Structure 1
């Protein structure tokens, strides 16, 4: 039987999409959450001195998106064939563009500067990111609520997690994008995801 251990900090961050994949698949794994205060003792054990790290049958795999894509393939949540896989990864890469844009804002410590960065992002950049995602959803989703095909994939989970971060910054961010709101609602209705969301630790990000 396959053995999975996921190492990350006690936040959603870069490991949450992988946790959502485990939840959606109903796959048991060790969710090893390391506190910042104890991280120095673990750092030397990680191949690149960073996390997340997935230990699969005793071998460590690095890089958050690589881990998520591996798990999606393992659990048949990466598309039904090679072309669907490519569509899923196109959506994931587009979500990554959004995440890259909002991460510096979330990390900014100066509240005034953070406010200015957020307003600039909301007024000048956000609409394009969300329009791009809606275009792909309508192009690849066969008229349904999922990004690719007619079932849940990594693409939906990646956007669900990014969408949460976005909504924590501006709760109205998706108001003009009904397809994206419906997509997130569909993810939340998945029985295993719903159970996971009810029970996961509440963290700052």
Structure 2
């Protein structure tokens, strides 16, 4: 099978896909483009959004669905339906947090953006990050059932993006999540990907 991933030249929502493809030891074309090209690329995308993954020439959208598909191939989706549900919940909770950060970060109105930052810093970020810390502590260093799943890879893959939007190190003072990150980035395939991937903001 041939794989081509199309996204902006950043980590963000494409990075979980890159992590999973790397975990699977799968060669893939990592096509990145600058934002100036987006107006010409957007009309060619299935729903006008990226990332998309082409598998043998068939273009697929929806990054979480793609990541889940690859996670099934990697055996990281859980041992039964209940475990798979818990993993999906963990990933969706991270998505909720990402959307809360994005509501601040992408606000084009500087006045309203400034007003959003203090509640974000004092309420939203502690609320989510402390819950994530507790969940990982309760599950022996992972998000679900004390073992590596795609929820762990997903969280670590989007962490740089979350930090960038928050403007702080979200793992500061959270040793359980720090340890989880260390575990994921030490996986040989992930470590190799991180070493060779382009350096981006």
| Structure-2-length-normalised TM-score | 0.86
1:165 aligns with 161
Gaps of 5+ in 1: none
1:147 aligns with 143
Is residue 2:26 matched to residue 1:4?
no
1:197 aligns with 194
Per-residue CA distance 1:118-158 (angstroms, 9 max, x = gap): 3320101111112322343244x3x2x22224543211122
Per-residue CA distance 1:155-187 (angstroms, 9 max, x = gap): 112211343234343444323322111111111
1:32 aligns with 31
Distance 2:158 2:175 in 1: 16
Distance 1:138 1:87 in 2: 16
Relative distance call for 1:116 and 1:196 in structure 2 (3 A) is farther
Relative distance call for 1:167 and 1:152 in structure 2 (3 A) is same
Q: CA deviation at 1:113?
A: 5.3
Q: SS at 2:59's partner residue?
A: strand
Relative distance call for 1:25 and 1:111 in structure 2 (3 A) is farther
1:86 aligns with 85
Q: For the aligned residues, what is the CA RMSD?
A: 2.2
Q: Across the two proteins, how many residue pairs are aligned to each other?
A: 200
Distance 2:15 2:93 in 1: 17
Distance 1:116 1:132 in 2: 24
1:185 aligns with 182
Gaps of 5+ in 2: none
Q: CA deviation at 1:84?
A: 2.1
Relative distance call for 1:198 and 1:111 in structure 2 (3 A) is farther
CA contact (8 A) 2:142 2:152 kept: yes
CA contact (8 A) 2:16 2:153 kept: yes
Runs of 4+ in 1 over 4 A off after TM superposition: 109-116
Per-residue CA distance 1:52-107 (angstroms, 9 max, x = gap): 11112232221121111111112222223322221211110111111011113332
CA contact (8 A) 1:95 1:162 kept: no
CA contact (8 A) 1:7 1:52 kept: yes
Distance 1:110 1:201 in 2: 31
